[in-house]
Amino acid sequence: MKRRMSTSISTKTEPKRQRLFTHCFLPMILLLSAAFFIGSAFIITDYKEKILGWGSVMVLQYSRSKMCETQCRAYGSEALPRGIISETSDLEMRPLWGAQNKKKPKLSMNLLAIAVGIKQKENVNKMVKKFPESDFVVMLFHYDGIVDQWKDLEWNDRAIHVSAVNQTKWWFAKRFLHPDIVSEYAYIFLWDEDLGVDHFNAKRYLSIIKNEGLEISQPALNPEKSELHHPITARDKNSTVHRRTYKVIGRTKCNENSTGPPCTGFVEMMAPVFSRASWRCSWHMIQSDLVLGWGLDFQLGYCAQGDRTQKIGIVDSEYLIHDALPTLGGSAENKVSSPSSESGGRSEVKKQSYIELEIFKNRWKRAINQDNCWSDPYEQSTKKQK
């Protein structure tokens, strides 16, 4: 139940209104009917004449103050009149003066966020150029602290640059992509810097995931040229989108009846694309201290806004080539590393990845045990699979 509430906050159908209704209007209606009941109780007493006046005034005042008490106000904003409260923001740059250039109506823009180091400048340039300015706001997370050397790129000034040395994509995402800040964007592309985009078209990709109703997705990887970690991400040349693999993975035989990872219902963490609603949920799952992000991928199904076998998928017709360079921006197995050190740092980071994975799994278990109001929508299926 709790899960449903937190994940359905921004589904497509008038999310806020729904929330307002259950949180504010419902209590208000109850209160009003209580007031009405009290009011009518007064009327039928013998003291009708005297008390009617008093009673209705009292009831009115009482219900007004109660009504105000139960009004929904964002935490911390209670001291302000409602109309001035600005709960969300975005990453669009605004002119210092003059008219706003109204290019697009809100809610149709998307966000591309990449963790980058200067060594990957050329590839990042290619990547960004694949995302049309009319549809995407670009954000770069510089993990090597080098920002100036990007200035010659033609799109540099319209990108937002955030710099923090030796931090990972998930560290940045947790801190700079808060759902209230990015709630204007229809889709969030949270990508590594080493992806080959020759066969990728962002507009076509967007239209496919919209048509297919994918809340969480990634482009397929060309298996001939990419380092594959999960069979599900391999491109199927014959299809536009696939949602499961039929391979044997370890002791798991994936088939059409599989209900969860590693057969279906997840994407890898190198190039995930989130809908607004799924990002709001996923952001909450990212742990501030577990910066390598391991373990998140298999749990993404909880943020899928419905059946993970349907709402999560791999787009085959727009695909990537994954060079698997060891970079800090990356998060997949075997490739996580610190930007400079070639051997030492890499194995250290890998070791740390496994440690973080264990911590994450344990936290998940503990959270389930402690939360009596939460029930696991996938409990059956995980049991069956094991």
Ligand X SMILES: *[C@@H]1O[C@H](CO)[C@@H](O)[C@H](O)[C@H]1NC(C)=O
Residues of this chain that interact with ligand X (CB under 6 A) are 165-166, 236, 238, 255, 257, 338-341, 345
User: Closest distance between ligand X and the C-beta of residue 119, in Å?
Assistant: 13
Distance of CA 35 to the CA centre of its chain: 42
User: Tokens for 227?
Assistant: 């380092």
Q: Nearest to residue 70, comparing CAs of 13, 40, 39, 29?
A: 29
Chain position whose Cβ is nearest to ligand X = 338
- The DSSP annotation for 94-122 comes to --SSS-----S-TTS-EEEEEEE-GGGHH
User: Closest distance between ligand X and the C-beta of residue 143, in Å?
Assistant: 9
Which residue carries 């709001």 as its tokens?
Answer: 280
* Residue number, 330 or 339, with CB nearest to ligand X: 339
* Residue number, 27 or 345, with CB nearest to ligand X: 345
User: Closest distance between ligand X and the C-beta of residue 144, in Å?
Assistant: 8
User: Closest distance between ligand X and the C-beta of residue 255, in Å?
Assistant: 4
User: Closest distance between ligand X and the C-beta of residue 226, in Å?
Assistant: 16
Distance CA 183, CA 111 (A): 10
User: What is the dihedral angle through the alpha carbons of 62, 67, 70, 75, rounded to the nearest 10 degrees?
Assistant: -110
* Residue number, 257 or 375, with CB nearest to ligand X: 257
User: Tokens for 191?
Assistant: 């990508």
* Residue number, 15 or 345, with CB nearest to ligand X: 345
User: Closest distance between ligand X and the C-beta of residue 218, in Å?
Assistant: 19
* Residue number, 55 or 339, with CB nearest to ligand X: 339
Distance CA 140, CA 128 (A): 10
* Residue number, 70 or 252, with CB nearest to ligand X: 252
154: helix, strand or coil? coil
User: Closest distance between ligand X and the C-beta of residue 333, in Å?
Assistant: 19
Please list, residue by residue across 114-124, b when 16 or more beta carbons sit within 10 angstroms of its beta carbon and e when fewer do: bbbbbbbbebb
User: Closest distance between ligand X and the C-beta of residue 338, in Å?
Assistant: 3
* Residue number, 297 or 316, with CB nearest to ligand X: 316
- The DSSP annotation for 222-273 comes to -TTTS--SSGGGB--TT-SEE-B--SEETTEE--TT--STTTBS---SSS-E
307: helix, strand or coil? coil
* Residue number, 244 or 311, with CB nearest to ligand X: 244
381: helix, strand or coil? helix
